[in-house]
Structure 1
Amino acid sequence: MESRRALHFVFKVGNRTSTACFFRDILGMKFLRHEEFKEGCKASCNGPYDGKWSKSMVGYGPEDSHFVIELTYNYGIGSYKLGTDFLGITINSPDVIENIKNHNYPSTEIGGVHIVTSPDGYQFHIVNQVCEGDPIQKVTLACSNMGKSVDYWTNLCGMKKYSFEEKKAVLGYADNQCKLELCDISKAVDHATAFGRIAFSCPREQLPSIQEGLKAAGQTILTPLVSLDTPGKATVEVVIPADPDGHEICFVGDEAFRELSQVDPEADLLLDKAIAADKSEEWFAKKGKTKASA
C-alpha cells in the first residue's frame, strides 16, 4: 500500500550524553526534534513507565522523507536488558565508516559490513556504499515462524514481499522506503526490557479498518485507537498492535503526523539543555546508588 510509509524505530536509552555523541559523531545523524514529558505516554511510547521521560528524533533528514530513530529516555532508569528481538539497522554510508575510523570507535567487519554497537547495545550494520536518498535501508527483526510472520505483515498489514527465503524475508510499502527484514531464529523471540517499536504512517481514515481487521483475525491490539498529545504541537491518532512474535507496531495518522514531525531547528539545543539540567545521575551518586536497571 503506497499510501503507507515507514517512519521510525523506537529505542530506549539509559544515558543521553553518550547516546547523543554516538548518533552525532559516529552515525553522522542530526537531531530533528526533542520533547520532554512529565508523565508516561497513553500508548506506552516510552515503555511501561509512568514517570518523567523524553523523546528525541534523530536521522539523516526530515521525517516526512526519511526513516529516523526515536530515542526515549526514562529519567529514573539507567539501562535495559537486551533480548533477541532486534537484530540491527542497515545504513549505506561511506561517511559513517570514515567516522568509525576517525573516532577509533569499536567495530567488527563481516563480509564487508562494519558492525557498530550503540552505548545501549543496539547494532548498526554499515555498508560502504553511496546511497541516493535516505541512507537507512532496513530494520531487521527476529521471528520464530517465517510463514506466520510474512502472512501477518503482507495480508494483514499490506506490505509487499521484496524477497522471501526459508529463513529471511524483506518486506516494505514502497521501493524507495526503509524495508523490514525478518530473520527466522527458530525459537521464541525474547523482547526482554529493551524492546523497541516500529512505526508506520497511513491516512488517518485507515486507522479504524486496520484495528478492526487485526481484531477480526484474532491478532493482538496493545493500544486501541487513541489520541496522543505533544505539548504545543499537533495531536496524532495511533493504533498499537503486536505481530505474532510480540513486536510492537505503531500505525499513526499521516496527516497530523506530518504536522507534528516538522524539523525543529532548536532540537540540538533543547536536547543539550535537557541533558545539562538532568541531575538524576548526581542524585543517585550522592545516595551511593546507581540508576535502576529495567
Structure 2
Amino acid sequence: MVRTLPMASTLRPSLSCFRFSSNTRFGVSLSSQRPLSSLHLGSAVPHLHSFGLKASRLLREGNGLSINAAGNAAQASTSAVEENVLDWVKKDSRRMLHVVYRVGDLDRTIKFYTECLGMKLLRKRDIPEEKYTNAFLGYGPEDSHFVIELTYNYGVDKYDIGTGFGHFGIAVEDVAKTVELVKAKGGTVSREAGPVKGGKTVIAFVEDPDGYKFELIERGPTPEPLCQVMLRVGDLDRSIEFYKNAYGMELLRTRDNPQYKYTVAMLGYGPEDKNAVMELTYNYGVTEYDKGNAYGQMAIGTDDVYKTAEAVKLCGGKITRAPGPLPGINTKITACLDLDGWKTVFVDNIDFLKELE
C-alpha cells in the first residue's frame, strides 16, 4: 500500500505548506451599525395609544422609511466597495507563474521532460526535514516564463491523476518529429501526429512516466512553449465568469463540439501564441469530477493578495489560506478554490522576484 502524505507536505513552502484559515481585509460589516431610528421606535411604542390609529401608522411608516434609507445607503456603500475591488482586478498585473503537481520518480520525470520535450531544469530544492523535493522545469527563466514545479514526496511512487485533470499543452515546431523522439525514449504516444478534428492545426498526445498527458501543438516560434493547462469543469458559463471576474483573465475564445459532446473555453492574460492559458473543458451533462491526488495547483502573480482574496470571495470562491506573509520568508500569498474546487495560489509580484533571488 502506498502512503500518500498530507497535502501540506506536498506543496512548496513558499506557496501553500501551511494550515489555512479565513480572513479578510476589505470586508464590510453592517452588524455593528445600529439605525438611529430604532432608538426612536423603541421609545415611542409605549405611547402609541395616545396618538390614535392614524398617528401610530404614520410613526411606524416613517420609521420604516428611515430604516429602509439606512439599509439602502449601507447596500450602496457595500456595492461601491465590491465594484472597486472587481474593477481593480481588471487592472492588476497578473501572470501565470507555474503549475504544481506530484510525481513518483523525480529523476525519471526530469530526464523525460528534458530529453523528449526540450525543457530545461531550472533548479531543484530538497527539503529533507519535510521529506520532499521540488524541481522547476521550463523553457525560460521563472521571472518571465510559465514553468512546471514537480513535487516528489519521499517514498511515494504513485498518485491518482483522477478524471478532472486534462492535459498540459506544449507548442513545438514539428509535432511528428517530437512524437518520434518520445517513442525513441520509451514514452507513450496516445494520439499520433495529425490535424485536429474539424481543423488544420497538427497535434499529438503523449504521456509522461506518471501518466500525465501532454498535447503537442504545431506552432511557429513562440516566447511561451509551455502554453496550456486543461482542467474539466461542471458549468462552463459559471467558470468563465468566475475566471474573468475573480482571476482577471480574458476570455480568448470558445469552441463547441456537439459531435463529441464537449465545449472548451480558452482564458488567459494575453494571446495564446505568446502566453500560457487555461483551457476549461465542459463535457455535456457532467457536473463533477474526481480530482485524484496528483495535480496540485496553479500559481498566479498579483500586485495585492489582499484585494485578490476579497475579489475571489465576492465571486463565490473559497479562501483556503488567508492573505498575508509566509513565516520565515515574508512572501505574501493567498490560496483559494474556484467553483469546481481547483486550487490556485496568488503570489505577490515583488515578493516573488525577491524569492527567486
- What's the TM-score once normalised by structure 1's chain length? 0.77
Residues in 2 aligned to 1:80 and 1:235: alpha-carbon distance in whole angstroms: 31
RMSD: 2.0
Aligned counterparts, 1:42-81, within 5 A: 51-81=130-160
2:300 is matched with which residue: 194, 197, 200?
A: 200
Gap regions ≥5 residues in structure 2: 1-89, 196-201, 257-262
Distance of 1:104 and 1:210 partners within structure 2: 44
Shift of 1:16: 1.2
Gapped regions of structure 1 (runs ≥ 5): 40-50, 263-294
When residues 218 and 100 of structure 1 are mapped into structure 2, their CA distance, relative to the original with a 3 A threshold, is closer
SS of the residue corresponding to residue 196 of structure 1 reads: strand
Aligned residue number for residue 242 of structure 1 = 337
CA shift for structure 1 position 118: 1.1
The structure with the greater share of residues assigned to helix is: 2
Bigger RCO of structures 1 and 2 (CA < 8 A, at least 6 apart): 1
Structure 1 window deviating more from structure 2 (145-154 vs 80-89): it is: 80-89
Residue-by-residue CA offset, 1:199-251 (whole Å, 9 max, x unaligned): 11011xx2101112222344211211243468xxx542211101111110011
Separation of aligned partners in 1, 2:327 and 2:221: 35
Partner of 2:39: none
Q: 1:258 to 1:141 in 2, by over 3 A?
A: same
Q: How does 1:14-93 map to 2 (within 5 A)?
A: 14-39=104-129, 51-93=130-172
Contact 1:161 1:170 in 2 (8 A): yes
Aligned with residue 180 of structure 1, among 259, 263, 278: 278
**Residues 53 and 73 in structure 1, CA contact (< 8 A), matched pair in contact too:** yes
CA distance in 2, matches of 1:83, 1:150: 22
Q: 8 Å contact 2:136–2:150 — kept in the other structure?
A: yes
Distance 1:12 1:229, change over 3 A: farther
> Is contact 1:169-1:183 (8 Å) kept?
yes
SS in 2 for 1:210: helix
Q: What TM-score do you get using the length of structure 2 for normalisation?
A: 0.64
Q: Does 1:216 align with 2:306?
A: no
- State the Cα distance separating 1:120 from its structure 2 match: 1.2
- Percent sequence identity is 32
Matches of 1:38 and 1:141, distance apart in 2:
32
Give the match's secondary structure for 2:350: helix
C-alpha separation between the residues in 1 aligned to 2:224 and 2:234? 30
What is the match of residue 240 of structure 2?
150
- Give the 5 Å matches for 1:130-149: 130-149=220-239
The residue aligned with 1:99 is 181
